[in-house]
Every structure is written in structure tokens, then in C-alpha cells.
Structure 1
């Protein structure tokens, strides 16, 4: 299967990166191809957001060198599985991943019906992850992306507990069918 993994954390190495790395390794071991875009690790010279003109309601066009338009979206259109990876930022996904997801709007119909996986880390409890779960479940439902498995790793500051989630991510990657 063709898997596209979108990560958002600017922290390298970070807890969500550990889940992403483990899932990717498991998926590759199972024979899948994985295209990965680390939105949070793009340089400052890369366009991240659609800029607005000074005139109200006027948008600037997407630059020709836009990596999301030129590279990420073509991979997404061909993908069988979309993997979204984020750490918890306040109550939702991080801005870098959100900026990529916001670019889906021109391709909503073409992106419908893919399968999905969500990998999230947070330093708090499962209760603290409630809002991000709802946000991502609503996205999955809207996009008609049935979940192949989601991991919400709470207390990710705890290395012993995080190691369990990392193993689960690896196993989930291997189990994709």
C-alpha cells in the first residue's frame, strides 16, 4: 500500500517523532511504501501558510515553489492510507500540521475514502487529549477516512510509558493491510 505520513512537530527529536519513526519502520517491514512530510521541520524559506493581501478578502496565490502543492498533495492523491502525527498543543494539533490539512480543501472529493491512522502524543492524561481526539475524529469522519487504528499517547514525558506506545505504533505499522 501507499502510505502518506504527515507530521507537524517542530521538535526533533520529540515524542511524536518517535511514534512516527516506529510506525514508518513497521509499515516498511510489512512491504508498504511510505512518503513522509515533516511539516514542522521545514525551513523558514518554505511557504507554510497562505498569506492574505492587505485588501480584505484578497488572497495571494500559492508560490511556485510550494512543497505542499508540488509534492505532498500529489502523493496524498495516490495514497491508500493517510497517517496524521502531532503532539498536543494546548487542546489541538500543531499549527504546522493544520496548515497542511487546510490545503486539502481544493481536493476534498479526490481525497475521500482513504484509510487513516492518527498518532498523537501529549504530556497530560487521556482526559487532556479529549479535544484533539474529537478534532481528529471529526476530520476522519468528514473525509470519510475509516481508521485503521489510532494511538493517543498520554503521559509521553514518561519514557517507560512512551516506549509502550512506540511499540504499539510499530505494531500498527506492521499490521496495515
Structure 2
């Protein structure tokens, strides 16, 4: 991880909103909920940093419970998985997952394969009153997903995360343990 600078939450929101339109018409648009999670992270952790992450950093990000957009196969259990573990799980059942959890699969499949859009993370699991995804995680510290689950999985699944990849990220929380 390369820490670039501390940033204000207004900048984080502006970056998020530039790519995540709450009124964008597509199946299972969760951008409004994702923005609410960013607000919860800001209230709880009170500081943000802009960083660049390499492939290994991204593979170790903890993903919270994900019910696969209402599909029949739940991709991430309540205990969480790392991006690497989620990709391994998905790789072993791509066709079945695409058939039984089509909305989630389509979000992964349609991820832009030409560029890395910023992802949003925190240094520990947050609490969000309307979303229980973080409450039962086995790993509650380190880099934890706030927004970008489908993108991170798609990048690794499609071989885009090369060893020299640098992905922009905004991280809520204290990064002193990374210095």
C-alpha cells in the first residue's frame, strides 16, 4: 500500500458520486446504500486517506456478508471472506453461480475491464444499523470492504490484477499500522 495523503470526507463523497449515481437505472442499483455505508464509516472512524493498493493488498481485503443480490447461492458468508477466497469460491462454480445468482454475476461480468475505478475501504469493520454484514466477520481489522466488492472480484477473476497494478482507494480509519 502506498499512502498518498489524508483527504476530507467531502472529497471521498465527490469521488464516489462521480462514478456511483444513485439514480442510475440498472438491476439492483445499491449506490444509495453504499453511500450510506460510507457515511457510517465517516461517523465512526473520522478520518480518510487516499492510497494506492497493489494486487496482494486487494486480495487480502475482507469482504462482508453478501447475499448475492437475492440469488440462490450466497457468495460471502456472514463470517466474511477475503477477495482471494471469494474468487477461489466463484472460480469453482462460475456457470452455476451465473445461473443461480444472475444479478450478482451480471455486476461482476459487466465490470469495466479497461480501467480500475476507485474502491472504498475501512481499517476495521463498521456498524451500520440497517446492514448486518459487518457484525459477524471473523476478521474485523485490516482492510475491510465498504464499496467495490464486485469490481475487486471481477478484476482478479479476469486476470486484471497483475503484480504491478495500482488501484486507487479511499480508506476510512487510522493507517498508522501501515506506515
TM over 0.5: no
Q: Is the helix fraction higher in 1 or 2?
A: 1
TM-score by length of 2: 0.36
TM-score by length of 1: 0.36
Query: Of the two, which has the highest radius of gyration?
Result: 1
